[in-house]
Amino acid sequence: MDIILRNVHAVDPQTGIGCVTNIAIENGVIARIGGLDGETAEREIDCAGLTAVPGLFDMHVHFRDPGLTHKEDIFTGAQAAKAGGVTGVLLMPNTKPPCDNGDTVKYILERGARTGINIYTSACITKGMKSKELTDQFELKKAGAFALTDDGRPVESAELMRKALELSVKSGMKILSHCEDLEIINGGIINKGRVSDELNVKGMDRASEDYITAREIALAASCGAGIHICHVSTKGSVNIIRAAKRDGVRVTCETAPHYFMYTEEKLRSKNANYRMSPPLRTEEDRAAVEQALLDGTIDCIITDHAPHTAEEKADFLTAPNGVVGLETSLAAALTKLYHTGKCSIEDIVRLMAVNPRKILGLKPVRIAQGERCELCIFDAQREWTVDPQRLHSKSKNTVFAGEKFKGKPVMTICGGRIVFESLEN
C-alpha cells in the first residue's frame, strides 16, 4: 500500500459512509476501506479526530492566467486550492486576452495538468467578452472547455444570449451567467441603499441582479436549455430561482461564503477588500441566501476567488471588485452552517463536492473501494484566525482577514498523492 489513513471519520452521502474507519490508498485509488489490521504502507497516518470527505470542487475561480499573472497564476491558484481541500476547479475566462478560442483553452489546460489537481476551464460566450458575436461552442468544446460564460459581465444582448442558449442545446456546453445589468449598475461600487447613501458613494441597485436572473431563466425556458446563475446575492434572485425550479426550468445556481456571512455594514470601514461583484447586500438578503442554501434552492458553494494586488485594492473608490477565498471556504461553511447546527457535514459535502461536479457533468468523486482517491481531510474542531499573509494565493485580498473560524483543512489528496499537508496544531 502507498498510504493508510487510520482512525479517520469518513463521510460521503453518495455512498452512505459515515463512520470512523481505515482507508488504504494504492496506485491512485482507494484500495480498501475498513479492517487493515496487520497491513502496512509506505506512509501511515493517524487521523484520529479528523474527517475525510470527497475532494471539494470550486466551479467559479479566477487564476488570471494568461495575462494577469501579477495577481495569480495557475500554479499559485492551485496551491491555494490545495490548502483549502479543493481537488478540482473551473476557471473563469476573463483573462488577458479573454479565453475565447481553442488555443487559449489548450494553453490553460496544459499548464493545469502540471498542478497536481484537476483544472478545468470555461470559455467566453462572446468573442472578447464584447457581447457582439458568439464564440464557436463546438471548437471550444473540442479544445477541452467545460462551460461558457462572460463572467465579470453579462451578455448585454438578450437575443444574443438566447442564441447562445439555443446553440448550447446542440453543443452540450453548460452556460453560466454573471447576472448584473451594466446600465442599471451605471458605475456603482457597493450595494445601493443606506450604507451607500451614508458614505455618499454610487450604489449598485439589486434590480441589476434580479433583472438579469429573470431574463436568463426566461431565455433558457424558451429554448429548453439549462442555465447556471453565478454568485447569487439577493433575496429577489433567490425567489426567482426557487419559482423557476418549481416550474421545471433547468436552472442551477451558486453563492459564495461572504454572501451568507456578511452584509453591506462591512463597507462602513471603506476597506476595498469588502468590495466584490455582486456586492455585499442587506441582512434580509444574507438571510435569504442562507435559507436558500439550507432548502436546496442554491445548489453549491463557490468562492469566486478573484485575486487583486494590494496596490490595486488600496483605494476604496477606484479598487477593482473581487476577493480571494479558496483557502477559507470550507472553514466558513463549517463555522457558519455546521457548527451552528443548521446543516450536517453531508450537506456541506453535497454543496461543495457533489453538486458542482454534477452540474458540470463530471465524474463523481466518492469514498468507495476502487474509486480514484480525491480526499479533503479536515479538523472540524480546529480554531484559527485568518492571517492574509499566510495564504498561499499570490494576492491577499481576503474578505475574512482576522476572522476566527472553527474547522480547517489539514490534508488534501488528489490522484492518491498528498498534495497539501498541515497536520500540526
Q: For 5-35, what is each residue's pLDDT tens digit?
A: 999 999 999 999 999 999 999 999 999 999 8
Burial level of 172, CB count in 10 A (0-12/13-18/19+)? exposed
Instruction: Give first-to-last CA distance, the chain, whole Å.
Output: 27
Question: Per mean pLDDT, which range of 92-101, 215-224, 325-334, 416-425 is the poorest?
Answer: 416-425
- Sequence-ordered strand ranges (E) for 116-216: 118-123, 147-148, 174-177, 190-191, 203-204
Given the residues 304, 347, 379, 387, the one annotated as active site: 304
Decide if 3-52+369-421 and 59-360 have a common fold.
no
Residue 271 grid cell: 476597506
Our answer to whether residue 304 is catalytic in this structure is yes
In whole angstroms, give the CA distance from residue 253 to residue 240.
11
Tell whether the model's pLDDT for residue 108 goes beyond 80. yes
Average pLDDT estimate for 353-373 = 98
Q: What is the CATH number of domain 3-52+369-421?
A: 2.30.40.10
Question: Are the CB atoms for 236 and 165 separated by under 8 Å?
Answer: no
The structure's pTM equals: 0.98
Q: Comparing C-alpha atoms, which of 387, 323, 377, 369 is closest to residue 26? A: 369
Average pLDDT estimate for 364-386 = 98
Can you say how many angstroms the Cα of residue 199 is from the centroid of all Cα atoms in its chain? Answer: 31
Q: For 399-420, what is each residue's pLDDT tens digit?
A: 999 999 999 999 999 999 999 9
Question: Are the CB atoms for 167 and 140 separated by under 8 Å?
Answer: no
DSSP H or E stretch at residue 41: none
Let me know the angle formed at the C-alpha of 274 by 187 and 177, rounded to the nearest 5 degrees: 60
Which residue reads 453531508 in cell numbers? 346
Q: Which pLDDT belongs to residue 38? A: 85
Burial level of 138, CB count in 10 A (0-12/13-18/19+)? middle
Q: Comparing C-alpha atoms, which of 53, 57, 11, 54 is closest to residue 326? A: 57
At residue 294, φ and ψ (nearest 5 deg) are -75, -30
Sheet containing 174-177, strands listed edge to edge, beginning at the edge strand earlier in sequence: 56-61, 86-91, 118-123, 147-148, 174-177, 227-229, 251-255, 300-301
Q: Comparing C-alpha atoms, which of 339, 348, 196 is closest to residue 274? A: 196
In whole angstroms, give the CA distance from residue 37 to residue 153.
56
Average pLDDT estimate for 356-364 = 98
In whole angstroms, give the CA distance from residue 406 to residue 397.
21
Tell whether the model's pLDDT for residue 135 goes beyond 80. yes
Question: Are the CB atoms for 76 and 111 separated by under 8 Å?
Answer: no
Sequence ranges of the domains in the chain: 3-52+369-421, 59-360
Q: Which pLDDT belongs to residue 394? A: 97
Fold assignment, 59-360: TIM Barrel (3.20.20)
Q: For 249-286, what is each residue's pLDDT tens digit?
A: 999 999 999 999 999 999 999 999 999 999 999 999 99
In whole angstroms, give the CA distance from residue 24 to residue 44.
9
Average pLDDT of every residue of the chain? 97
Q: Which pLDDT belongs to residue 277? A: 97
In whole angstroms, give the CA distance from residue 394 to residue 74.
10
Per-residue pLDDT band for 425 (boundaries 50, 70, 90) equals: low
Tell whether the model's pLDDT for residue 380 goes beyond 70. yes
In whole angstroms, give the CA distance from residue 201 to residue 22.
56
Q: For 28-77, what is each residue's pLDDT tens digit?
A: 999 999 988 888 989 999 999 999 999 999 999 999 999 999 999 999 99
Q: Which pLDDT belongs to residue 44? A: 96
Q: For 146-203, what is each residue's pLDDT tens digit?
A: 999 999 999 999 999 999 999 999 999 999 999 999 999 999 999 999 999 999 999 9
Q: How long, in residues, is the chain?
A: 425
Half-sphere exposure of 324 toward its Cβ, with a 13 Å CA cutoff? 34
Tell whether the model's pLDDT for residue 328 goes beyond 80. yes
For a pLDDT cut of 70, what percent of the chain falls above it? 100
What is the phi-psi region of residue 101: left when phi exceeds 0, alpha when psi lies from -120 to 50, beta otherwise?
A: beta
Q: Comparing C-alpha atoms, which of 275, 270, 269 is closest to residue 321? A: 275
